[in-house]
A and B are shown apart, each in its own frame.
Chain A
Amino acid sequence: EVQLLESGGGLVQRGGSLSLSCAASRFTFSNYAMNWVRQAPGKGLEWVSAISGSGSNTYFADSVKGRFTISRDNSKNTLYLQMTSLRADDTAVYYCAKGDDSVPAAAFLDYWGQGTLVTVSS
C-alpha cells in the first residue's frame, strides 16, 4: 500500500518561513506527479502546488505563487514545500497527494497523506 508521510508543520510567525516534507514509499516515486493540497480551519480543500514526476514542471495556486516553492528528490523519494512570507491565511492542514500519472494535468489524486498542520500566528 502506498504511504505518504508529511512532516515539518508547526507554529510560525507571520512573515516567517517553513519547510514541509513528504516521504513516499511503496511505489516508484519518480513515475508520478505529486501535489500539495491544504485545508484551512472550517474551509474546503484548496490546491496549493503540483510537480511533474521528473520535477521539471511546477505549478502553483495564485494565492501562493512567488512565496512557495515545490521540489522533489527522486533519489530520496521525498517531496518538499518551501513556504516563505507566511500569512495568517496560510494556516491549514497541508496534505501531500500522489497523482496517478507523471503529468499533473492528466492525474487525479489517488493517494493522500494524513496531513501536517501549519499555524501562522499574527
Chain B
Amino acid sequence: SYVLMQPPSVSVAPGQTATITCGGDNIGRKSVHWYQHRPGQAPVVVVYDDSDRPSEIPARFSGSNSGNTATLTVSRVEAGDEADYYCQVWDVNSDHVVFGGGTKLTVL
C-alpha cells in the first residue's frame, strides 16, 4: 500500500518559516491535501490539490508538490499555528485515502 512519510516534529520561532515535508513514491503525480488538527478540534483543510487554499485560510499557508516530496510552508508563523499537520492523497492502486503520519508543529 502507498505510504506517506512526514517528520514527527518541526519547531520554529514566531515570525519564521516552517516547512513540513510529505514523502511518497512519485507523489508529484498525485493531488496532495494538507490538514491542520488542533487538540480537541475538528481537522481543517489548509491546502488542497497541492497548492490551492480555501478562502478562509491565510495566505501564509502554501503548498508545493514535485517528484517524491510535497511540502507545506507556513510563513510568518504565529502561536496559533501550533498544531498537528497531515498530508493526504488518494491511492488509485488500492482505492484508499492515505494519510501521512502527521507532523507536530511547535512554535517556540
Contact = CB atoms under 8 A, between A and B. Distances in A.
A44 B101 CA distance: 6
B96 A59 contact: yes
Contacts, number: 61
A47 to B, nearest CB: 4
B42 A109 contact: no
B61 interface: no
Contacts of A59: 95-97
B40 to A, nearest CB: 9
B59 interface: no
Interface in B76-108: 84, 86, 88, 90, 92, 95-102
Interface string A49-76: 0100000000101100000000000000
B42 A108 contact: no
Interface stretch (A22-30, A84-92, A110-118): A110-118
B95 A105 contact: yes
B92 A108 contact: no
Interface of B: 1, 31, 33, 35, 37, 41-45, 48-49, 54, 84, 86, 88, 90, 92, 95-102
Given A45-B86, A115-B42, 14 more contacts: A44-B86, A44-B101, A45-B35, A45-B37, A47-B88, A47-B96, A100-B48, A104-B97, A107-B90, A108-B33, A108-B48, A109-B33, A109-B35, A110-B45
Closest 8 CB pairs of A and B: A47-B97, A44-B102, A108-B33, A112-B42, A108-B48, A45-B99, A105-B90, A112-B43
